[in-house]
Each structure stands twice: as C-alpha cells, then as structure tokens.
Amino acid sequence: MRGKARELGITIGTLPTGSKNCITDVAGVQVGHVTLDQPLAAQGAYACTGVTAILPHDGNLFQQKVTAASYVLNGFGKTTGLVQVNELGVLESPIMLTNTLSVPAVTQGTLQYMLEANEDIGLTTGTINIVVGECNDSYLNSIRACAITPEHAMEAIRTATDSTAQEGAVGAGKGMMCFGYKGGIGASSRLVKVEQTDICYTVGCMVLSNFGQSADFLAHHYRASTSQQSSTLAPTDGSIMIVLATDAPLSSRQLTRVIKRCGIGLGRTGSHFSHGSGDIVIGFTTAHHIPHTTDQLIVTRTQLREDHPVMNQLFAAAAEATEEAIINSLFQAQTTVGRDGHKVEAYMYESCEK
C-alpha cells in the first residue's frame, strides 16, 4: 500500500503539519485534477498525462486577486504569466500544471473559463494574465499527440475542491518521474505559531516532480529502502514545478524571499538543479484579496515585520513543506506503463512504523 511519508513513520523537519498535510490546509485553497490514461489512435501512442489546477480561493480570481510572486531556480522551463506576476505582484487566475506541449491548450482552456466568468475582460477592462507551468512527460506520454484539450483544463478548475488532494500519478503528475522512479504530484503543509500570541499561519506546498537520477536521491535521509536496484531512467529535460501557498500577510517582495527557500527543500532530497531542469516556484498568500477595481487612491494592507522571528519560521516552513511534498510525490506514485510499453517503477520503501 502506498502512503505519505508520515504514514510510514518518516518525519521531515521540526514544524507541525496541518490536519490534511496538504496545500489545501491553507483556508480557501482548492485543487482539481484531470488524468488521461488511455491508448490513442496512432499505433503505440498512449495518453499518460493530465492537468492540475490550484485555486487560491473559491471566488472570482480576476475580480479578487491575491498577492503573488515567482522565483526561477533554473530556467529550463516553459511557463506563461510569470513576467506579469513578478511585475505587479498579484495572481488573477488559477495556477495550472500540465505537460510541456500542452501549455497552449491549458492556457486556452483556462482563458475560456475566466472569460465566461468575467464578461468585462477585453471590453470594459483589460485582458487577463493566465499562469501555467509544465514538466516533460514524454517517456510515458505520447507528448506529440497533444491529447490535452482546453476542455480538460476547464474540467480541472470546475472540479477543484478544498479536500485533501490526490497525490502521485494523478493529474499533471500522471506521466512524470522522480529520481528515475515514478513521481508526480506531492503535497505537504506546515503550521507556524507566533510565540506569546494566538496567531498561527499555514504554509502549504504542492509539487509536480519530474527530475533527477536515482543516484542523486538521498534515500538514507528518509530511512527509505536501500536494497532496491537503482533505476537507469531519468526524466527528459526533467523539471519540477513548486507551488507554495500561505495565509501569512506578506508583500510580494516578502513572498519572494519565502519561496526562494523552497530550493533548500528541493536540494535536501538530492537535486542540484541540473542544466536541463526547469525548477520554478510560484507562491501566493490568501491574506490579501485585492479588488480588480477600486475608487480608492491609497490601498492599505497589513504585512509582517521583516525582522520578526516569524519570518525565519516561514522560511523553515517553505523548505520543510517542499522537501516533504517531493518525498510524498515519490512515495505515493504507482508503477505506470505508458507509450510504446514504457514502464516506470514505483519507488519501493520500507515502513518505519513499529
């Protein structure tokens, strides 16, 4: 039976997790998956791929934006929308994840969904910034077939919920690999309690893992199986997309500082941000809902003091949640067979429970 690291007795870091140990522990955040696992018309072709949608809240994301930022650890990736996110410091659409060649279709589907929900876009107001990230799943998925359609993106958004998200070989993670074994979607969360107060902030992380060779994996850090034969497989142009959510009141600049620490969690697993890897982090905070239009000249928002000890706790939470989300993506993924009979084995681990 596959399970999350903590279900197997493996504790990562020192901070406590939220009740779901998932990005949806951040109040309002929702996740939806659409998974394709089916043969295609062409001989040997197979759709082993999907779409994952992450929504900061259940309202109208264009009309009520959230503070956001992104950070590039290694830029061998194909994303949409991050230039404007960093320029304006806001997110106004779901964050969508998919395979490399499906970025256009997922962008189109997300755009259609947002246009249907906002009749003013492009008429009485400006356009919209759609955010999509990707990893290359071409070993298992017939990526040239472009099986993902705009409708799949819309379905992922419509079916998103705030329950504990599925992890492993689901959604955008269906065809992904991690350290030469089956990878994909992983999630974790951390609680940051402010001393001598009743305040507790939540940091949640979701990853799309598709990177590394088995020799890179620091398995002994997780008391995982050391008897399994090493895999010779490695993702083609392997990458990772990391999405970090929090309810801590941070500015876009402060959020950038926090999400940089996701790279620490990635490095702890054994990654060195290789040449062909797109290692990209997108972060947002739900603390601020920013109206699309307002008559106010001055907008006032709260934010944490830069030198308060809680900032260091948020840094630690970002690193820990990212590390554990990656391990969860690896431990929960099932052995998968894809195009041309290609097979990627699930990582075999040993339970640490007594």
pLDDT for 73-117, tens place per residue? 999 999 999 999 999 999 999 999 999 999 999 999 999 999 999
All residues at 6 or more sequence positions from 267 whose CB lies less than 8 Å from its CB, including other chains = 273
pLDDT digits (tens, 9 = 90+) for 264-322: 999 999 999 988 899 999 999 999 999 999 999 998 999 999 999 999 999 999 999 99
Span 184-204, average pLDDT: 97
What's the DSSP call for residue 224? Answer: -
All residues at 6 or more sequence positions from 210 whose CB lies less than 8 Å from its CB, including other chains = 135, 136, 137, 176, 177, 178, 183, 184, 235, 238, 239, 240
Asked if pLDDT for residue 352 goes beyond 80, the answer is no
Catalytic residues: 239, 277, 279
Listed range (11-15, 55-59, 175-179, 222-226) with the worst mean pLDDT: 222-226
Phi, psi angle pair for 107, to nearest 5°: -60, -45
3 state SS of 263: helix
Asked if pLDDT for residue 259 goes beyond 70, the answer is yes
pTM of the model as a whole = 0.96
The pLDDT score that the predictor gives to residue 86 is 98
Class of residue 40 by CB neighbours under 10 A (exposed 0-12, middle 13-18, buried 19+):
middle
Q: What is the token pair recorded at 319?
A: 């690193």
The pLDDT score that the predictor gives to residue 305 is 96
Q: Interhelix angle for 262-269 vs 309-332, to 10°?
A: 40
Q: What is the token pair recorded at 63?
A: 């009309």
d(CA 281, CA 105): 22
What's the DSSP call for residue 270? Answer: T
Amino acid at 168: G
